[in-house]
Amino acid sequence: MNKKIAIIGGGIVGASAAYYLSSLPGGDQFNVTLFDAGAGQATKAAAGIISPWLSKRRNQQWYQLAKDGATTLMTLARRANLSTDIYHQTGTIITRTNEKDLHDLFILAQERRQDAPDMGTVERLTAAEVKERIPLLTNPQPGIYISGGARIDGEALVTTLLDQAQQVNLTVKRGKVSLDNQGNLITATGQQRFDEIIIAAGPWLNELVEPLGIKVAVRPQKGQLIELAVPDYGSQENMPVLMPEGERDFIPFGHGKLIVGATHDDEAGFNLTATPAATQDLLNSARQFADYLTEGDITRTKVGTRAYTPDFAPFFGRLKGHPKLLVAGGLGASGLTTGPLIGRLLAGTIIYGGTPDWSNYEKPLTNYFS
């Protein structure tokens, strides 16, 4: 008889875990049910950049996770046959206005490339060369180009992964669920039995594990982005993503669409209302580089809630004292980069068993659970 697996949360970790439980060898021995409440999910509101290699975070475990996460996404894009509207390796350009900062960034890129060949080529660009690659810009800055960087549509990625998994062994159920004090899953129709449960509910993780007498060091952060209509250059689908210093990311998509964002609001909690102040902040940032943009060009606003830990590092693994429960959280703004790898690792340990050592990717779970 097939084992029954539950996943709570249909964001990037939950959707990735469901996909790998359906596609890794041995996954056909499992029946998987994913429960998702459908509100506030960070992934559905995210359009992001996959370019972790020049991060100056001191946490080497996070860097290893993000670096290998970028590689995982490259493989996933081919394996799941993702369209370029979902994942596109356009390259990224990281800009600096100070000459020394730009030089130091170029040296760092050359060093990081030694053990990260998926970075691709590294080039130093003048402001004119940056404009040549991103014609949308009116005020370009010099920068470093990394060919391995990519842009990604979080909502479309999750939808595609779940659609493919549903063709194999996944059932998706919309609605809120909870756990009892023994770790059993409770739905609107009562208790349901599962052999193992992955809890990937973002900042709602605390609420879910509270009946177990557990607290998690994770907090919500509101993020908002805007979509704008821009001139539809023939090359726009292949334009690199711009990561400016001190400003919001500038992400050209194809077909005359530009995404700018996202904000980081630590005070709004779970509030999902778009605010005029955040919208103006994003527009002002975009106008630093494309001064023709106006409020009338905004076609859509998205809001989601990220989960952060005090040290800004994600965690994942089997919950101590509750062997059938696996947890993941605290991905923050790097969820689209790290989430697919975390989902694959969790799916792998369910399929193949054992107690894998993930200390190269994360600190002990006891750092976040009490």
Q: What is the DSSP letter of 238?
A: G
Q: What pLDDT does residue 246 have?
A: 84
Rg (CA), the chain: 21
pTM of the entire predicted model: 0.95
For 3-44+155-218+311-367, the fitting CATH number among 3.50.50.60, 3.40.50.620, 3.40.50.720, 3.90.190.10 is 3.50.50.60
Per the model's pLDDT, the better-predicted residue between 143 and 40 turns out to be 143
pLDDT > 90: percent of the chain: 85
The whole-number average pLDDT for the span 31-45 is 77
337-368 residue pLDDT tens? 999 999 999 999 999 998 899 999 999 999 99
Please list, in sequence order, all residues whose beta carbon lies within 8 angstroms of the beta carbon of residue 251, skipping any fewer than 6 positions away.
Answer: 47, 48, 49, 151, 241, 242, 258, 259, 260
The whole-number average pLDDT for the span 254-271 is 89
Report how far residue 244's alpha carbon sits from residue 249's, in angstroms, rounded to the nearest whole number.
6
Confidence of residue 237 (pLDDT cuts 50, 70, 90): confident
**Two tokens at 223?**
């993020």
What residues does each domain of the chain span?
Answer: 3-44+155-218+311-367, 92-147+219-306
Q: Is the dihedral of CA 107, 109, 111, 117 positive or negative?
A: negative
**Phi and psi torsions of 119, nearest 5°:** -60, -30
Report how far residue 332's alpha carbon sits from residue 15's, in angstroms, rounded to the nearest whole number.
17
Using the predicted structure, report yes or no on whether residue 77 has a pLDDT greater than 70: yes
301-343 residue pLDDT tens? 999 899 999 999 999 999 989 999 999 999 998 999 999 999 9
User: What DSSP string describes 81-137?
Assistant: T--TTTEE---EEEE-SSHHHHHHHHHHHHHHGGG-GGG--EEEE-HHHHHHH-TT-
Q: What CATH number was assigned to the domain covering residues 92-147+219-306?
A: 3.30.9.10
pLDDT > 70: percent of the chain: 97
The whole-number average pLDDT for the span 167-194 is 94
Q: Do domains 3-44+155-218+311-367 and 92-147+219-306 have the same CATH topology?
A: no
Q: What pLDDT does residue 28 have?
A: 84
Using the predicted structure, report yes or no on whether residue 44 has a pLDDT greater than 70: no
287-299 residue pLDDT tens? 999 999 999 999 9
User: What DSSP string describes 197-230?
Assistant: EEE--GGGHHHHHGGGT--B--EEEEEEEEEEE-
